[in-house]
């Protein structure tokens, strides 16, 4: 019997129960539909076509594999042109210091091979290159999605959003030295940055076919050669750096003029390359393009080293294609202490 003397109609009770069941049905069916949609989005449909980069994702292990291949393929073009003495060199402008910048067939052919190989494999990824890409001269270069065994063994797959990735290509680093037939300085480079941070770096030396494993030097003090610190710099900037370096580190400081940012980074590492000089620190005191330094920055980061502006700021590989603050690079030493020792060089980097 209902309270207060109110009697419930059997028909009303039936309607109430039906309404309750209807509400529960809709709530539960919505929950099931949501769970079903979640699993459909999370797992590929069985028997469907393979989609290695679904929903705008990029696998960094695959990108590393194709970056290595691109650097090697570009290097083949660089070597072929130089061996055939078919450079067709011409001036493409001047640097901020007033030096003529050279452009050769090696630059252009290497750039075309590297750019279109990367673009065909990862069409959604932004690719920045030192040389202009002529769409009228497009080349079909495919990747068979093969990953070398050493990469498979050392690197696990890792997907990141395609929009977070920027690839920087230097199809021929040290073009001036290339025209002078100073082959030891020449490299081809690929760098991958995620959200501006360099995470993959490939440096290939086409004239020795060197793309080896990077191993850090074992430094016992602030310099590996404590009595004769060795600083590697651009050939055109050695005079600017030498005076300050000797005042800072002593008159016995060795200044190594060299060509190519890739070559200079390799000088900081213990690489099995007979034509590679060795140094403790790499310093650059003027404006430099990011495709020149991104790959080397990634390599140093992977090995626990550092590459920063002369004032110690991290270099971001998004936005503009140039770095205004100069750079200082080192590995296995007190990088902050090095920066504090070079206060005067930062002032020259914007000139």
The rounded distance, in Å, linking the Cα atoms of 338 and 309 is: 12
What angle do the packed helices 60-83 and 105-121 form, to 10 degrees? 160
The pLDDT value recorded for residue 101 is: 84
Q: Which amino acids are annotated catalytic?
A: 107, 175
Which fold, 230-341? D-Maltodextrin-Binding Protein; domain 2 (3.40.190)
List binding-site positions.
Answer: 130, 170, 172-173, 292
The reply to whether 57-214 and 230-341 are identical in fold is no
Query: CA 52, 53, 58, 59: dihedral to nearest 10 degrees?
Result: -20
- Please say whether the beta carbons of 314 and 308 come within 8 A: yes
Q: Give the Cβ contact number of residue 42 at 10 Å.
A: 7
Give the three-class secondary structure for 191.
strand
Residue spans of alpha helices (H) in 208-342: 238-249, 261-267, 290-302, 335-341
| Alpha-carbon Rg for the chain in angstroms | 29
Measured CA angle at 316 (ends 126, 61), to 5 deg? 50
List binding-site positions for Mg(2+).
Answer: 130, 170, 172-173, 292
The rounded distance, in Å, linking the Cα atoms of 191 and 201 is: 5
The pLDDT value recorded for residue 44 is: 30
Q: Where are the domains of the chain?
A: 57-214, 230-341
User: How far does CA 119 lie from the centroid of its chain?
Assistant: 15
Give the three-class secondary structure for 301.
helix
Residue-by-residue pLDDT tens, the chain, 351 positions: 444 444 545 555 554 444 444 433 343 333 323 222 222 222 233 333 333 444 589 999 999 999 999 999 999 999 999 999 999 999 887 766 667 789 999 999 999 999 999 999 999 999 999 998 776 677 777 899 999 998 888 888 999 999 999 999 999 999 999 999 999 999 999 999 999 999 899 999 999 988 854 433 333 334 443 457 899 999 887 777 787 777 777 788 889 999 999 999 999 998 888 889 999 999 998 999 999 999 999 999 989 999 999 999 999 999 999 999 999 999 988 899 888 877 655 555 555
Q: Give the Cβ contact number of residue 259 at 10 Å.
A: 22
Which overall architecture, per CATH, does domain 57-214 show? 2-Layer Sandwich (3.30)
The pLDDT value recorded for residue 98 is: 67
162 DSSP 8-state letter: G
Q: Give the Cβ contact number of residue 87 at 10 Å.
A: 18
Torsion sign across C-alpha atoms 299, 305, 309, 313? positive
């Amino acid at each position: 019997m209902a309270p207060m003397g109110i009697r419930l109609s059997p028909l009303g009770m039936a309607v109430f129960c039906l309404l309750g069941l209807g509400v529960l049905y809709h709530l539960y069916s919505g929950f099931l539909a949501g769970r079903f949609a979640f699993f459909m989005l999370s797992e590929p449909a069985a028997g469907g076509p393979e989609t290695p980069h679904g929903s705008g994702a990029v696998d960094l292990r695959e990108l590393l594999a194709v970056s290595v291949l691109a650097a090697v393929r570009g290097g083949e073009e660089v070597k072929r042109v130089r061996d055939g003495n078919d450079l067709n060199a011409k001036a493409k402008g001047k640097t901020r210091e007033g030096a003529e910048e050279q452009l050769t067939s090696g630059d252009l052919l290497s750039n075309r091979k590297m750019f279109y190989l990367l673009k065909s494999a990862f069409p959604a990824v932004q690719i920045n290159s030192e040389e202009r890409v002529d769409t009228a001269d497009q080349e079909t270069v495919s990747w068979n999605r093969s990953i070398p065994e050493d990469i498979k063994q050392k690197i696990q797959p890792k997907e990141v959003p395609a929009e977070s990735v920027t690839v920087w290509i230097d199809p021929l680093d040290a073009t001036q030295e290339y025209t002078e037939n100073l082959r030891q300085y020449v490299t081809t480079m690929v760098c991958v940055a995620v959200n501006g941070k360099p995470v993959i770096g490939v440096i290939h030396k086409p004239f020795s076919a060197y793309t080896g494993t990077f191993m850090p030097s074992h430094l016992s003090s602030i310099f590996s050669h404590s009595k004769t610190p060795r600083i590697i710099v651009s050939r055109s900037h050695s005079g600017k750096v030498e005076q300050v370096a000797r005042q800072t580190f002593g008159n016995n400081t060795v200044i190594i003029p060299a060509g190519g940012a890739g070559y200079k980074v390799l000088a900081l590492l213990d690489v099995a390359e007979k034509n590679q000089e060795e140094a403790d620190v790499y310093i650059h005191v003027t404006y430099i393009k990011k495709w020149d330094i991104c790959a080397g920055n990634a390599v140093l980061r992977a090995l626990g080293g550092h590459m920063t502006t002369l004032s110690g700021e991290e270099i971001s590989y998004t936005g503009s294609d140039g770095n205004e603050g100069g750079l200082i690079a080192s590995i296995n030493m007190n990088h902050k202490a090095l920066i504090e020792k070079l206060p005067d060089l930062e002032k020259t980097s914007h000139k």
